[in-house]
Amino acid sequence: MTGPARPVTAADGADAEAPAERAALASPAARAAQAEWLATLSARDGAAANTIRAYGRDVARYLGFLAAHRGGAEGLGVLARLGPADLRAFMAAERARGISARSLARALSAVRSFHRWLSAREGLDATAALAARGPRHRRKLPRPLAVDAARAVIETVEAAPAEPWVAARDAAVITLLYGCGLRVSEALALTGPDVPLGETLRIRGKGGRERLVPVLPAARAAVDRYAALCPFPPAPGAALFRGVRGGALGPRQVARAMEAARHGLGLPETATPHALRHSFATHLLAAGGDLRAIQELLGHASLSTTQLYTGIDSTRLMAAYSAAHPRA
């Protein structure tokens, strides 16, 4: 690093309370590079829209911090002269702003991705950014439902005091989440021509990754029942699951149906729609499912993500041991 790095002070923490204002300090050249990088992530790498938004916010804060840290906008020059002290100062400011270790790890992932792209496009040295390591954080274990609780949720949603087609719709979505391990967004992305469901579904998940998911007879029957009752005819390109006014069903409506069932059954707050996907994986693993196969069914890019479910089984095993062993 050729230029002096200003040490982080208490004022940095105060400035960090207004990250939007600080992000605006970045030079037009830096912001243009960020916009082009985000477009590349979307078009070439197929990153999800939520990932694009989160990475955009993270890197905008990073660029604004560097501009303030180095005393003003300097185009891409500040990135060319980046050193380890700059990365440490950014991380310190982010922690002073109160973000969690997990959020900081995501921000550093975005920063590394941006610098990797800049290195390939502009030839800028990305060593300092790629070598930066954030604080360690423990990944939370998923909170699946028990088998009988998952079944009870489906039955409760199906018997909800709503219009028959609405209850059938909610039950069909919930059944797909638990029976096929779909994300809520993946279930809601189904369109009219997907009905009747076949023995498998081709799902496009995070990062544009495609996978084939087996469809259980119970899931096919639930979707068929909904399709027969739905007052809105299926149409090419139109969402399969509709709201009461005919528009595409949103995830909030699915969450409300799950919330009502959860309260009725006395289940914990962790019993969310996404917990049904966790339940699908955990119950498959408990039944002897192969971890690699479960990874494919869930559409995880990394086996380490799927391996979280082995931690759940280990935790339950130890709890059962402690409760049952005579010397525990």
Q: If you average pLDDT over residues 176-183, what whole number do you get?
A: 87
Q: Which residues contact 190 (CB under 8 A, 6 or more apart)?
A: 201, 239, 240, 241
Active-site hit among 6, 31, 143, 274: 274
Helix (H, G, I), strand (E, B) or coil at 198: coil
Residue 173: per-residue pLDDT:
96
* Reported pTM: 0.58
pLDDT tops 60 at residue 327: no
Same domain, 205 and 316: yes
Of 69, 99, 131, which one is at a domain's C-terminal end?
131
| Closest by Cα among 166, 161, 142 to 226 | 166
Decide if 112 contacts 90 (C-beta within 8 A): no
pLDDT tens digits for range 241-259: 999 999 999 999 999 999 9
Q: Could you tell me if 25 and 157 lie in one domain? A: no
183 given a catalytic annotation: yes
Domain count, the chain: 2
Q: Give the range of the structural domain holding residue 100, as residue numbers without chain letter.
A: 10-131
Could you confirm whether 283 is annotated as catalytic?
no
Cα distance between residue 257 and residue 20, in whole Å: 36
Tokens of 258: 């799950």
Domain co-membership, 232 together with 85: no
Where a domain ends, among 131, 155, 184?
131
Annotated active-site residue 178? The verdict is: no
Q: Is 131 helix (H, G, I), strand (E, B) or coil?
A: helix
Q: Which residue has better confidence, 36 or 74?
A: 36
**Same domain (yes/no): 203, 289:** yes
Q: What is the CATH number of the domain that holds 203?
A: 1.10.443.10
Residue 181 predicted with pLDDT over 70: yes
57 is catalytic: no
Q: Is residue 222 very low, low, confident or very high in pLDDT (cuts 50, 70, 90)? A: very high
pLDDT category at 288 given cuts 50, 70, 90 is: low
Dist CA 204 CA 183 (whole Å) = 11
Average pLDDT of span 152-178? 93
Q: What is the CATH number of the domain that holds 105?
A: 1.10.150.130
pLDDT in tens, 94-135: 888 888 888 888 888 888 888 888 888 888 877 877 777 766
| 251 and 223 together in one domain | yes
Rounded to an integer, the average pLDDT of 205-216 is 78
Same domain, 170 and 201: yes
Q: Is 274 a catalytic residue?
A: yes
